[in-house]
Structure 1
Amino acid sequence: MRRNVWLLIIVLIAVLLGVNNTVYYFTTKKSLEDGLRHELDSVAKQVALSIESSRNGAEIYQDEIGRELRAASIAAQYALDSDVEKVTNDQLSELAKKLDMVDITLLKRTADNIVLYKSSDPKEPGYETDNWDPWYKAFNQLFDDKNVSIDWGQRLPNFWTGPFEFSSTSTDKIQKWGYYHDGSTNYIIDPYISYKSRQLAYDNVTGVSHLIGETLEANQWLKEIAVLNPETFPGGRPQTISENGELVSHMTQDSIIEGSYTLKHHTDTANVKLANESGTKIYQDAVIGGRHVIKLFIPVEVSTKVASMLDGSGKPIPRYVLSLVADYGAIQQTLDKQLVNIGLIIGIATLLSLIFLYWVVMAYRKSQDKLVRRTQETYLDEINSMFQSIRSQRHDFVNHVQTMQSLAELGKTEELKTYAAELTGEIRTMNEIISIGNPAIAALIRSKSLQAEMLKVDFASVFTDMNKLELGIKSLDMTRLLGNLIDNAFDEVMTYGEDLRQVSIEASQKDGYFQFMISNTCLRAEELRNKPLFQAGYSSKVGNHSGLGLHIVKSIVDKYKGVISLVLDEPNTVTFIIKIPY
């Protein structure tokens, strides 16, 4: 006894140590993960603020470039004739060099279009602009109103410009175009400059890409930062076909606005969408390329409409999603050390537990014989009880026969008939159900008959000549079909008094098809004409119903290429007739 007490104490100590270390392991893991997420969240907020500051600075710088393009347009207007026909391409070429522009193009309005008419770039003239959305709308507004009102791009008096973009005429160049027209000429002046000569130098020093690079360098545990366009992610950069048949990419609609996106996971698309639509940050614990990482998706609101970040239809996006990827390696190293220590402790505790289990098993075996004997005694008692029940049933049956014989000898014919009907009624009903020939349907009809008795529904069933039923229809489908129809009938008649609760089902085998007819009382039968009874979700019943019963029936009938029809020939009666070929 004393040895057993010590053994129990040792096992309890081992169990407590294992539980304590397990709790410590998972607590440490959670604490480290929470710390990493907190640090990741903090860095994300700082990066988001810095990116917004840098991006707003870049937008302001682009506005200054827009003013430069407007000034160049005004200077060009003074140097050129007001009639586009009197301006030469050579004049535009010389003027572009003096104004430090890449090129200058003049746009002319024709009867049904606006075309690039004259240009210092020989590839420009001849292009039509009616498919340049929203540029074409801006051109028309400049010609008509001398100003642009569309809520996109930069608007100045008699001037409009969009963001840096790829050119339709030079698909390998990123440029920014300005458009000026004050009504003193019969053309729009379009000077433009390249991204490399203006914006690139600014972005390399203070831009978002530069900021992301510095953040990654300062935080070695951060593996990747990306600014994502939730409206076009992950499809990549949208493309259109230019008039030259070349694919033109639209950098303003690029799914990766800034940074890099190489550590991809199959849940990224859903997480970006969720972060964008919910406006909340989303964490993802994932393994990518064998590396355990934690990804954070945080939505960032764009305070003003920006022409450089657009959705698939060319409209400014209200927010973008900032994605940060953190390495889980530091946490994993700490946890691995804890796991080794815990493994040793658990191993010792397990060994001690096995010893304890062996002792318990031995004690159990000793008591097992007693349990077996008791079980055998109980089994014999149950057998004896069963035989006694059979003898009682046999005795009762003899009594029934003797009673019927006495009634016959006394000449009480009516009482004999009544007694015999009561005795054989249930047997006859069961025989009729068994004669259906299909066990599943027989069980269904038996179940519905019992249900009808409880609900006080007059339920009649007639099945004739159904020997081929199993050739074409699965029992499961047949029970679903008939069960839904009978349930619908019961639901309807239960709204009436007991004298009107009548439901019947008839089934027969015709030449080439099975026919099922389910009828029930319905005082509002005429209201069901032309109603979408078989449509999912539609219900003619009063109260809360799913409206799926008849839809399920229709789908099963269609599955076997059958037909179902509603018949309202009899007054206050609804009948569904189903024909299924075999």
Structure 2
Amino acid sequence: MNKNIWLIAAVLLLLLLGINNTVYYFYTKKSLEDSLSHELLSVAKQIELSVEQSRLGAERFEEQIGRELRAAAIAAQFALDPDVELVTNEQLMELARRLDVLHITLLKETEDNIVLYRSSDPREIGIKTGTWRPWHQAFRQLFEEHNVSIDWGQSLPNFWTGPYDFATSDTSKLRKWGYYYDGSTNYIIDPYVSYEALQAYEENTGVERLIRKTLEENSSLLEIAGINPVIYETGAVQTITFSGETLDHETQKPVIFGTNNYKTAKDRKAIRRAYETGTSVTVDGRVNGVHVMKSFIPVDIDKVTSILDDEGQPINRYVLTIVSDYQVIQSKLDRQFTGIGLVIGGLTLLSIAIVWISMRLLQRSRERVAAEAQRTYVEEINQMFNMIRAQRHDFLNHVQTIHSLVQLNKLDALKRYAQELIGEIRLTNDIINIGNPAIAALVRSKLSQAESNKITFECRFSGLEKLDLGMKSLDLTRLIGNLTDNAFDEVLKYPEDERFVELHGSLESGRLVFTITNTAKNAKAISEMPLFASGYTTKNEGGHQGLGLSIVKSIVEHYKGSVTVEAAGDDRVSFIIEIPN
């Protein structure tokens, strides 16, 4: 039974250790993931600042190109006739070459439209601008007010320019157009340049170069992109050109810069949330079998012409998207978890070893106690048997002594001798008739101990011959022995005529009851002391460890019994034990 209890205890302990380690593992995993997520956001913030600086630099460079286009338009104005009808396309070709611009176009206002009337590029001639919004609005303001006030593009005195974009006459290349009109001519001068200048700048210092370099230096990063949240939601804005081609506007693209190849089903919702709330959003998912983590970071900007919504109006915020390879993160986690696992495993093995050693030590301690009790029990049984054998051995001597006293007619001496012999025989019979060999042997031993210490030791037992052997004899003798020893230790404090101990045992209504009563001058105070606490003792001499009564309590509780202490008057204390039988 005890082995099963220890086995159950060990299994429960291992189960608790397993649960504790599992909880600790996942808690640590969550903490590490959160830490890495914050670290990723920190890296993303650094990238955000670098990208913004690069993008703003490109914006400023484009503004400088706008100022150069204005200077070229003013130079062209001095070289051309103020009447558009007197200007030839050949003149514009030569002028474009000398001013080092791609082409020069002259815009003429008609009754219902504004037309590309003269140009160094034949493909431009005759194209109407009425559907170009907001470009046509800017042209109208130049003709009417000589300046442009719309909240888009770059406005300078008598000049306006929009961002780089594709032309309806040639959708294969990006262009930047400048428009100048001061009222001294009947046409708008439109010099324009190719994208090569800005492209060279961006290749050396621009956003795309920065993104490539960042991806090369960070193995965990897969992709970086700037997202136009409005266009990403509605779809790219497209225009059908006069030749029937579909034209995607550079300023109204879903992806402003970088690439957006790692798309998940959560992207659209995450972009909208980051854009509307102004807070970063992180999601994870699988793309083409790759587990990725995506961070969406809102970036507030001044309204610029290069990022427009679906209505052609500048937006004040875009979303920076950074895609990380979760496997790289997982590898870092696995390395840390390996270390944690080794620590957990080591602690678990150490705990098991400690428990096993404790169980072995406790088992050995119990075995030593049991062996000592068994030895005492055997000794006491042997003492009782030796007493009986001694009586039988001396029986012939007793008979001869009685015969001699009868022959000598010494009746008084015969009476005294017979009374002593009968008393000794009665005591032995009383001990034998207790009904339990273990108790009988113990009582015989305690009687001898009491006699040698001048202690009056009285015993009364009833019904023990019907005692069920459900309680171990060793536990029974340990119980009575410890209580009796405790009583003897107490009464030895008093004079010989006050040394009184009484042991009463009985079997009543299925309950085994033992009562030990002894002399105690401070009985009331003793009954209120924590006598059964392990290590507690009222004895200051003799090396007592305070374990006797603690052992008694543990035995009683093991058999579902009870032990109480009562003051029997002012000078006696009683220990009462009741155990179901």
TM-score by length of 1: 0.57
Q: Is the 8 Å Cα contact of residues 280 and 295 (structure 2) preserved in structure 1?
A: yes
Letter in 1 for 2:203: N
1:28 Cα deviation after fit: 2.6
Q: Which has the larger radius of gyration?
A: 2
Evaluate the alpha carbon distance shift between residue 334 and residue 89 of structure 1 in structure 2; reply closer, same or farther with a 3 A threshold: closer
In structure 2, the residue matched to 1:30 is 30
When the two chains are superposed, the root-mean-square deviation of aligned CA atoms in Å is 2.1
Q: Is the 8 Å Cα contact of residues 252 and 309 (structure 1) preserved in structure 2?
A: yes
Equivalent of 2:315 in 307, 314, 317 = 317
Comparing 33-42 with 311-320, greater Cα deviation is found at: 33-42
In structure 1, the residue matched to 2:304 is 306
Residues of 2 paired with 1:103 and 1:245: CA distance? 23
In structure 2, the residue matched to 1:392 is none
Q: Is the 8 Å Cα contact of residues 220 and 329 (structure 2) preserved in structure 1?
A: no
In structure 1, the residue matched to 2:281 is 282
In structure 2, the residue matched to 1:120 is 120
1:333 Cα deviation after fit: 3.5
Letter in 2 for 1:9: A
Comparing 316-325 with 29-38, greater Cα deviation is found at: 29-38
1:251 correspondence with 2:264: no
Residues of 2 paired with 1:335 and 1:70: CA distance? 58
Unaligned regions of 5+ residues in structure 1, if any? 353-582
1:288 Cα deviation after fit: 1.9
Q: Is the 8 Å Cα contact of residues 32 and 331 (structure 1) preserved in structure 2?
A: no
Residues of 2 paired with 1:8 and 1:323: CA distance? 55
Letter in 1 for 2:199: L
In structure 2, the residue matched to 1:59 is 59
Q: Is the 8 Å Cα contact of residues 237 and 251 (structure 1) preserved in structure 2?
A: no
1:285 Cα deviation after fit: 2.1
**What SS does the corresponding residue of 1:148 show, helix, strand or coil?**
coil
Residues of 2 paired with 1:336 and 1:324: CA distance? 23
Following superposition of structure 1 onto structure 2, how do residues 346-425 of structure 1 map, counting pairs within 5 Å? none
1:23 Cα deviation after fit: 1.8
Q: Is the 8 Å Cα contact of residues 29 and 331 (structure 1) preserved in structure 2?
A: no
**CA deviation profile, 1:13-64 (whole Å, cap 9, x unmatched):** 2112211221232123112211221111111111111111111111111110
Number of residue pairs aligned between Structure 1 and Structure 2: 345
**What SS does the corresponding residue of 1:306 show, helix, strand or coil?**
coil
1:325 Cα deviation after fit: 1.2
1:4 Cα deviation after fit: 2.0
In structure 2, the residue matched to 1:95 is 95
In structure 2, the residue matched to 1:135 is 135
Evaluate the alpha carbon distance shift between residue 335 and residue 22 of structure 1 in structure 2; reply closer, same or farther with a 3 A threshold: farther
Runs of 4+ in 1 over 3 A off after TM superposition: 234-237, 333-342
Letter in 1 for 2:215: L
TM-score by length of 2: 0.57
Residues of 2 paired with 1:331 and 1:210: CA distance? 25
Letter in 2 for 1:134: P
Letter in 2 for 1:307: T
Residues of 2 paired with 1:66 and 1:335: CA distance? 52
Letter in 2 for 1:322: L
Residues of 2 paired with 1:126 and 1:194: CA distance? 21
Residues of 2 paired with 1:335 and 1:319: CA distance? 34
Residues of 2 paired with 1:235 and 1:53: CA distance? 28
Residues of 1 paired with 2:43 and 2:329: CA distance? 18
In structure 2, the residue matched to 1:170 is 170
Q: Is the 8 Å Cα contact of residues 234 and 310 (structure 2) preserved in structure 1?
A: no
Residues of 2 paired with 1:139 and 1:305: CA distance? 21
1:254 Cα deviation after fit: 0.6
**CA deviation profile, 1:417-472 (whole Å, cap 9, x unmatched):** xxxxxxxxxxxxxxxxxxxxxxxxxxxxxxxxxxxxxxxxxxxxxxxxxxxxxxxx
**CA deviation profile, 1:247-303 (whole Å, cap 9, x unmatched):** 11101011011111111101100110011011111110212222222111110001x
In structure 2, the residue matched to 1:384 is none
Q: Percent identity?
A: 56
In structure 1, the residue matched to 2:8 is 8
Letter in 2 for 1:298: I
**CA deviation profile, 1:85-126 (whole Å, cap 9, x unmatched):** 000000000000000111000000001110000000011110
**What SS does the corresponding residue of 1:280 show, helix, strand or coil?**
coil
Residues of 1 paired with 2:330 and 2:14: CA distance? 26
Residues of 2 paired with 1:283 and 1:297: CA distance? 6
Residues of 1 paired with 2:179 and 2:331: CA distance? 60
Unaligned regions of 5+ residues in structure 2, if any? 353-581
**What SS does the corresponding residue of 2:291 show, helix, strand or coil?**
strand
Following superposition of structure 1 onto structure 2, how do residues 470-489 of structure 1 map, counting pairs within 5 Å? none
Residues of 1 paired with 2:83 and 2:221: CA distance? 60
**What SS does the corresponding residue of 2:130 show, helix, strand or coil?**
coil
Higher relative contact order (CA 8 A, sep 6+): 1
